[in-house]
Amino acid sequence: MRNRKVYLAADVGAGSGRVLAAIFEERKVFLEEIRRFDNQPVSVLGSLHWDVLAIFSEIKRGIREAVKRYGRDVISIGVDTWGVDFGLIDAHGRLVGLTYCYRDTRTSGMDAVSEEILPQSQRYAIAGIQHLHFNSIYQLLAESRLRPNVLAETRQLLFIPDLLNYWLCGVAKNEVTIASTSELLEAKTGRWSDELIGRFGFPRGIFGELVEPGSVLGKLSPEVASEVGSDHILVVASPSHDTAAAVAACPLRSVDAVYISSGTWSLVGVESANCHTSDLANSMGLTNERGVEGTTRLLKNISGFWIFQQCKRDWDLLGLGLSYDALRDLATKEAPFQAFLDPSDPCFEAPGNMLARVNDYFAATAQRVEPRPGLITRTIFEGLALSYRRVLKGISRVTGKHPDTIHIMGGGSQNDFLNQLAADATGCTVLAGPLEGSSLGNVLSQLKADGEIPSIRAGRSIIADSFALRTFTPNASIDWDSAARQFDALVAQ
């Protein structure tokens, strides 16, 4: 009997990607990085696109390197990515045009068009999805208005991980957690909404069969198998939205605990047995995305490290040469609450020139701020912590529950300064880790598909035994209540 099994997770974010190997031995999981690569949107003739062919090529390289290292111990692979973006394939299985990035401007004005078709409050009652102007529904609306010939040629819509799975094994299906980010699924049933699809005039046939996380799609295609050197590896539809995967792996200590998937975006929420599509939930900007094993992820998307990452890029261009750790250390030396910044303000969405936009934001909100890197960094981090607090209050109002623990996962969990700010701002104990939450949730779905665990919940205990968490307790030495009132007033503007 084989003692060691290896499962591959291709975890691709809106900035970088990686192929990780999860070695499963003696009921514990050990991660090894096989390959890491950049993933940046490409500007072409004024539009932003993803280089999905480069992503696919990097994933194949990762599989090939894993096969060289582990041989036939490699059992399967799952793919998870960011949400909402998609590729369109024609009757021959080929891409119809380039794949757009959600930060592309073609959705500008689609809010007003969609309101005329069906008001947002009615859409929310069906789909339960937070209003974000780049949701798939608005991207498709832009396609139907700006490039109607594209949808006419389309046989099937495949979200980015669905598309990568299709290229790996030749099976074209829509995994439900990623599909739920589209604003085209029914929140209560997890099925495609014929009402929304019909009202918006989208071709019903392009929306394919929905499959649950952990579904085995098939083996690598003969072409890919030949390229990577193995003909037995299975492709599993993992929780293919990276946040769904991260939540799947989160070793939640109670059913009321809050999770934060922290990276370029921060996704703050709870795992729920029910969806919440009330007017109150809508007013709070909460979203109902599908989770594993029939659960709902009640959460809010807020900007995460995006502004910080873009500011660092600008400082690098200025020749300051400050690392992320150096900027964090400078931030700790600044006095608190010298200024306030809402990380989710729309002015920060586009890439480039972020320092200028931060300065413009301070001017527009009548705040005089010295442009010190440490001060700007601290203001961004405090804005994130205050955003967490604001979202938690909204979730508590909707659910009637008052959590006392927050699990922070993903790359942002390494930032101990922000972890402590989050604990102080919310009054909750913060548990930081695991770092590679999305990859681990991806792997748990493969363990379940392979019969190694009976459920994702059982798998969480394996994660808890395999990875140490760091604990941050609230410190009441700073007046966060007063800061929250100032921040809420700023957001209300």
Q: How far is CA 375 from CA 168, 179, 274, 368, in A?
A: 46, 40, 42, 12
Q: What does the radius of gyration of the chain's CA atoms come to, in whole angstroms?
A: 22
Active site residue 242: yes
d(CA 88, CA 94): 8
* DSSP, res 467: S
The encoded tokens of residue 318 equal 């200025």
d(CA 493, CA 491): 5
Buried b (16+ CB within 10 A) or exposed e, 226-245: eebebeebbbbbbbbbbbbb
For the beta carbon of residue 29, count every other beta carbon within 10 angstroms: 22
The encoded tokens of residue 464 equal 């808890």
Q: How far is CA 233 from CA 71, 77, 169, 446, in A?
A: 10, 7, 10, 12
Question: Is residue 138 helix, strand or coil?
Answer: helix
d(CA 252, CA 406): 9
Category of 433 on φ-ψ map: left (φ > 0), alpha (ψ -120 to 50) or beta:
left
Taking the CA of residue 444 as centre, how many other CA atoms within 13 Å lie in the half-sphere pointing to its CB?
31
**Beta-bridge partner residues of 302:** 266
For the beta carbon of residue 468, count every other beta carbon within 10 angstroms: 9
d(CA 134, CA 354): 20
- The label of the residue with tokens 């090529």 reads 57
* DSSP, res 406: E
469 contacts 251 by C-beta, under 8 angstroms: yes
d(CA 323, CA 75): 38
* Contacting residues for 45 by C-beta, under 8 A, at least 6 apart: none
- Determine which one of 11, 85, 162, 242 is catalytic: 242
Give the β-pairing of 5-12 and 74-81. parallel
Question: Is residue 209 helix, strand or coil?
Answer: coil
Active site residues: 242
